[in-house]
Chains A and B, each alone.
Chain A
Amino acid sequence: MVSQPLCLVFNKSRTGIAAREQLDIGLMAAAFGQAVTLVFLGDGVYQLLADQQPEAIGAWDHSKIYAGLDLYDIKELVVEAESLAVRKLAESDLSAPVLVEPAASIRERFKSTQVVIL
Chain B
Amino acid sequence: MIKIDIVKKIGGRYGNFELNVNTAFHLNTVTEVSGPSGIGKTTLLKILAGLTLPDAGTVMVENDIWFDKGKNFSKKVQHRHVGFVFQDYALFPNMTVKAHLKYGTDDLAYIDYLLEMGEMKHLENRFPKQLSGGQQQRLGILRALSTKPRLLLLDEPFAALDAALKSRLTNRLRVLFAEQQTTVILISHQENELGVDNMHIYNL
Query: Are A and B genuine complex partners?
Result: no
B residues contacting A by CB (< 8 A) are none
